[in-house]
């Protein structure tokens, strides 16, 4: 006996329902990072332009609660991402579980970098000098994603213009990196790595990590020129001490070393 064909609308509802169930039941996975640039690898980036890709983010009206900072002067000068501490009632550099030192917050013009001043400091990271930005350049981001020690590696792919809303609207040229590796077991967004240094292979700082696109596996940092301008405004002479050589095989160990000596530290915003 031939069974009657169900109405089209009933079939449509069944298909949609099945898709919804699959979408909910399937564990979410972030797309893989883009492969290293091919023929363009090693090519110098063009100068910053208003026609570069636009990246829009909304900064909170108060500090994020936690992020990463790094030492740029042994006397107690640190850099972090502006949105980590902007509007923060009290910023603290964490020195040990449950312990920390208060930090004075100084914003640097309209840049996405903030300066923190503390009593006493940690060994300063060297600042990269005479950098030629090339596609495929590897950098490493040691920090505190999700409030825990962690790090990521990435490769430079292009320039972009970061547009930030929240406390007014501001923009700044940034660098776009494709994430290539991260600490095993670290999944999802890298929330809390904002403010981390972007280190080149010599262990020198190229810029400050300021934003992330988790689904696209992109990491955005300030430019070397913006970093130098922030240091000049803070009256900091860049450290000339040699950095720790970093490779894809050693970046996790180097990150642990930098956190142990507090050259890279967690920064938190307290409500009181």
Cβ distance 203 to 125 under 8 Å?
yes
- In sequence order, the 6+-apart residues with CB closer than 8 A to the CB of 83 are 59, 60, 63, 64, 112, 164, 166, 194, 210
Distance between CA atoms of residues 26 and 13, nearest Å: 20
Give the count of beta carbons closer than 10 Å to the beta carbon of residue 38: 8
- Note the pLDDT of residue 64: 59
Token output for 70: 């790094």
Structure-token match 């792919």, residue found = 157
Under the banding of pLDDT at 50, 70 and 90, the label for residue 164 is confident
Q: What's the N-to-C CA distance of the chain in angstroms?
A: 77
- Note the pLDDT of residue 52: 87
Cβ distance 176 to 220 under 8 Å?
yes
Under the banding of pLDDT at 50, 70 and 90, the label for residue 137 is very high
Q: What is the pLDDT of residues 250-268, one digit of tens each?
A: 999 999 999 999 999 999 9
Q: Residue range 188-215: average pLDDT?
A: 94
Cβ distance 73 to 125 under 8 Å?
no
Q: What angle do CA 158, 249, 27 make, to 5 degrees?
A: 70
Flag the least confident range among 58-67, 90-99, 206-215, 256-265. Answer: 58-67
3-state helix, strand, coil in the chain (%, to 5): 15, 40, 45
Own/partner pairs for 27-33, CB < 8 Å, 24+ apart?
Answer: 30/187, 30/188, 30/214, 30/215, 30/217, 31/215, 31/216, 31/217, 32/217, 33/154, 33/178, 33/179, 33/180, 33/217
- Note the pLDDT of residue 231: 92
Under the banding of pLDDT at 50, 70 and 90, the label for residue 61 is low
pTM above 0.85, yes or no: no
Under the banding of pLDDT at 50, 70 and 90, the label for residue 99 is very high
Phi, psi of 227 (to 5 degrees): -60, -45
- Note the pLDDT of residue 24: 33
- Note the pLDDT of residue 27: 34
Q: What is the pLDDT of residues 18-46, one digit of tens each?
A: 433 333 333 333 444 454 445 566 888 88
Flag the least confident range among 18-22, 111-115, 267-271. Answer: 18-22
| Integer angstrom CA distances of residue 105 from 91, 118, 154, 225 | 7, 9, 29, 21
Cβ distance 44 to 134 under 8 Å?
yes
Residue of 122 and 26 predicted with greater confidence: 122
- Note the pLDDT of residue 256: 97
- Note the pLDDT of residue 272: 65
Q: Residue range 7-17: average pLDDT?
A: 45
Phi, psi of 81 (to 5 degrees): -80, 140
- Note the pLDDT of residue 40: 63
- Note the pLDDT of residue 11: 44
In this predicted structure, the answer to whether residue 88 has a pLDDT above a threshold of 80 is yes
> Alpha-carbon dihedral of residues 234, 240, 243, 245, nearest 10 degrees?
130
Range picked from 10-19, 50-59, 139-148, 234-243 for highest mean pLDDT: 139-148
Under the banding of pLDDT at 50, 70 and 90, the label for residue 67 is very high
Looking at the chain, the whole-number percentage of residues with pLDDT higher than 90 is 55
């Amino acid at each position: 006996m031939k069974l009657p064909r169900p109405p089209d609308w009933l079939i449509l509802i069944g298909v949609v329902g099945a898709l919804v169930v699959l979408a909910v039941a399937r564990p979410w996975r972030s797309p893989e990072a883009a492969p290293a640039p091919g023929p363009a690898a090693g090519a110098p980036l063009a100068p910053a332009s208003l026609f570069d890709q636009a990246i829009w983010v909304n900064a909170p009206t108060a500090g994020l609660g936690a992020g990463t900072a790094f030492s740029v002067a042994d006397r107690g000068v640190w850099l972090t991402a502006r949105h980590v501490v902007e509007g923060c009632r009290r910023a603290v550099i964490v020195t040990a579980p449950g312990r920390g030192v208060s930090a004075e917050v100084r914003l640097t013009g309209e840049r996405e970098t903030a300066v923190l001043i503390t009593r006493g400091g940690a060994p300063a990271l060297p600042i990269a000098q005479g950098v030629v930005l090339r596609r495929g350049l590897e950098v490493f981001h040691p920090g505190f994603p999700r409030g825990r020690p962690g790090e990521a590696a990435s490769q430079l792919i292009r320039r972009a213009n970061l547009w930030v809303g929240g406390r007014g609207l501001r923009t700044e040229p940034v660098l776009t990196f494709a994430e290539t590796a991260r600490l095993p077991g670290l999944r999802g967004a890298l929330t809390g790595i904002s403010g981390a240094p972007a280190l080149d292979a010599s262990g020198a700082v190229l810029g400050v990590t300021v934003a992330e696109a988790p689904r696209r596996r992109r990491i955005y940092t300030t430019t070397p020129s913006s970093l130098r301008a922030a240091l000049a405004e803070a009256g900091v002479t860049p450290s000339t001490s040699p950095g720790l050589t970093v490779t894809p095989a050693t970046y996790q160990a180097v990150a642990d070393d930098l956190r142990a000596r507090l050259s890279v530290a967690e920064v938190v915003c307290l409500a009181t």
